[in-house]
């Protein structure tokens, strides 16, 4: 008997993955090549049994589903890309849709800021799914130096104006 049916997991499988009792399982899939390793989406995180990882939704910049490969882009607490995961899913059920929903839901605001001379950055507010706190990031467009003091100053000004206009 499999440890799951649809989006249900046995208590033993939840314990093995480290899923807290307060988390709601939304979707379950399996990872190839074995088809035995679980990939589980809860209301707070994505669990990858093969690596033992727990990825909060706000730690994922994007998730792309091109059957059978799920590609995840991971970001740090400054919103900068720090890596990715490519996962071949066997049994995916509604897992890709659940992941898309949760990643999208973690973004509160995403707005492009014009930094002058054609330069720009995305100003993004995301909700930490564990702490229910909002954190902001500035993601400079490709080709820009994120350590350039002039760009940082302009981006900080734009971010302050956006936060003030939204009251966040």
What is the token pair recorded at 43? 């209301």
- When comparing pLDDT for 97 and 2, which is higher? 97
pLDDT for 3: 42
pTM: predicted TM-score of the whole model, two decimal places? 0.86
- Full strand arrangement of the beta sheet holding 25-31: 25-31, 37-42, 45-48, 53-56
Query: Could you read off the pLDDT of 96-142 as tens digits, one per residue?
Result: 999 999 999 999 999 999 999 899 999 999 999 999 899 999 999 98
Domains of the chain, residue spans: 4-105, 107-166
CATH architecture of 4-105: Roll (2.30)
């Amino acid at each position: 008997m499999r440890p799951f049916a649809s989006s249900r997991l046995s208590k033993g499988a939840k314990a093995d993955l480290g899923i807290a009792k307060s988390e709601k399982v939304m979707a379950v899939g399996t990872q190839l090549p074995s088809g035995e390793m679980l990939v589980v989406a809860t209301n707070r995180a994505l669990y990858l049994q093969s690596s033992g990882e727990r990825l909060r939704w706000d730690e994922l910049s994007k998730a792309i589903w091109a059957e059978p490969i799920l590609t995840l882009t991971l970001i740090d607490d400054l919103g900068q890309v720090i890596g990715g995961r490519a996962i071949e899913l066997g049994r995916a059920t509604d897992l890709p849709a659940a992941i898309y929903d949760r990643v999208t839901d973690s973004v509160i605001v995403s707005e492009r800021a014009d930094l002058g001379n054609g330069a720009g950055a995305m100003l993004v507010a995301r909700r930490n799914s564990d702490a229910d706190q909002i954190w902001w990031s500035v993601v400079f467009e490709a080709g820009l130096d994120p350590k350039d003091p002039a760009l940082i100053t302009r981006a900080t000004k734009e971010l302050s104006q956006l936060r003030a206009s939204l009251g966040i």
